[in-house]
């Protein structure tokens, strides 16, 4: 069927309006950012600030070292993210399962969540990084890498467990009943019906925690891991320049942007879905 003249007319108007909107948004962004940039650049202290923080040559000189150190950050957060999900899921599930046989595990899970959510991540890093090797226990990891991963996992696992638990509890009870009514076991209902919905629902806050985790890999510099921040710091205290720190900052920012955009996308999508758009 060919669209009517009226429909074509409307579509043309809508197109024109969305073009106008786009143009206004682009123009106002450019103007605002331009004014901010001008104010900063023309301020009296700008030359000195630029020389210390935004020096091109210093940046290029620091780039290789910081970049290769940042590979360590990437390895740290990728490994930690997997372990955090495992720990978070396990703790969340232990806390929601009604089985009395799990009572001791439940107590441990509650204590774990309370303690590790309440302790600053930096403290956990220091305690694990220096405390665990001092215990001289056999079987405990001694490499700084794994100590760092363990510290971050302990800290973030507690957050993620609570997020996942909230997701599980938000699923309508009739979903449980419908699963059990089909003869599925508790475990099957959890795995095939409740968890998939819960994880989807909490994906945005979960990814948000991961964004935060990626930055917190920098805390591991305190136990001697030469990651990006530490590498930048070494150069900057050797040469008395601050630009390497800015370079490190850029790496952290760039690494979190994909996750941040993905989080936005998921949030918008779940809003759309719930509103039936």
Partner 1 sequence: MLRADAVRKSFGDHEVLKGISLEVADGEVVCLIGASGSGKSTLLRCLNLLEQVDDGDVWLDEQEITDPRVDADAVRREIGIVFQAYNLFPHLSVLDNITLGPIKARGVAKNEAVAAAHVLLERVGLAEKAKAYPDALSGGQQQRVALVRAIAMRPRLLLLDEITSALDPMLVGEVLDVIRELRRDGMTIVMATHEMTFAREISDRIVFMADGLVEEVGPPEQIFTAPRSPRTAEFLARHRA
* Residues making contact with partner 1 (CB under 8 A): 172, 174-175, 177-185, 188, 192-193, 196-197, 200, 273, 276
Residue closer to partner 1 (CB basis): 34 or 196: 196
Closest CA to 73 of 237, 202, 207, 213: 213
Closest CA to 50 of 59, 111, 198, 234: 59
| Beta carbon of residue 183, minimum distance to partner 1 (angstroms, whole number) | 3
| Beta carbon of residue 192, minimum distance to partner 1 (angstroms, whole number) | 6
DSSP output for 117-139? HHS-HHHHHHIIIIIHHHHT-TT
Contact of 102 with 94, CB cutoff 8 Å: yes
Residue closer to partner 1 (CB basis): 44 or 183: 183
DSSP output for 60-89? HHHHHHHHHHHHHHHHHHHHHHHHHHHHHH
Residue closer to partner 1 (CB basis): 199 or 223: 199
Q: How far apart are CA 241 and CA 49, in angstroms?
A: 11
| Beta carbon of residue 166, minimum distance to partner 1 (angstroms, whole number) | 18
Residue closer to partner 1 (CB basis): 125 or 195: 195
Q: How far apart are CA 116 and CA 109, in angstroms?
A: 11
Instruction: Classify 224 in phi/psi space as left (phi over 0), alpha (psi -120 to 50) or beta.
Output: left
Residue closer to partner 1 (CB basis): 46 or 265: 265
- Other Cβ atoms closer than 10 A to 17: 10
Contact of 153 with 112, CB cutoff 8 Å: no
Residue closer to partner 1 (CB basis): 106 or 191: 191
Q: How far apart are CA 150 and CA 133, in angstroms?
A: 12
Residue closer to partner 1 (CB basis): 184 or 223: 184
């Amino acid at each position: 069927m060919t669209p009517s003249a009226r429909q074509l007319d409307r579509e043309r108007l809508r197109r024109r309006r969305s073009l106008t909107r786009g143009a206004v948004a682009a123009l106002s962004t450019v103007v605002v950012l331009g004014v901010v940039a001008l104010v900063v650049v023309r301020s009296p202290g700008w030359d000195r600030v630029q020389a210390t923080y935004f020096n091109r040559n210093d940046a290029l000189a620091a780039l290789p070292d910081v970049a290769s150190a940042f590979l360590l950050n990437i390895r740290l957060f990728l490994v930690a993210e997997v372990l955090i999900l495992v720990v978070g899921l396990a703790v969340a599930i232990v806390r929601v399962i009604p089985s009395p046989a799990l009572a001791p595990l439940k107590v441990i899970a509650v204590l774990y969540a309370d303690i590790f959510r309440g302790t600053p991540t930096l403290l956990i890093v220091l305690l694990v990084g220096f405390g665990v090797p001092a215990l001289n226990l056999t079987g405990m990891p001694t490499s700084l890498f794994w100590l760092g991963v363990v510290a971050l996992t302990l800290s973030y696992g507690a957050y993620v467990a609570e997020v996942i638990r909230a997701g599980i509890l938000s699923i309508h009870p009739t979903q449980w009943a419908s699963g059990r009514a089909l003869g599925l076991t508790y475990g099957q209902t959890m795995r095939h019906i409740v968890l998939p919905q819960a994880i989807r629902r909490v994906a945005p806050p979960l990814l948000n925690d991961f964004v935060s985790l990626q930055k917190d890999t920098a805390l591991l510099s305190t136990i001697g891991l030469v990651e990006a921040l530490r590498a930048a710091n070494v150069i900057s205290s050797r040469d008395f320049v601050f630009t390497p720190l800015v370079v490190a900052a850029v790496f952290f920012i760039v690494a979190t942007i994909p996750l941040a955009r993905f989080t936005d996308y998921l949030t918008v999508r779940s809003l759309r879905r719930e509103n039936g758009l």
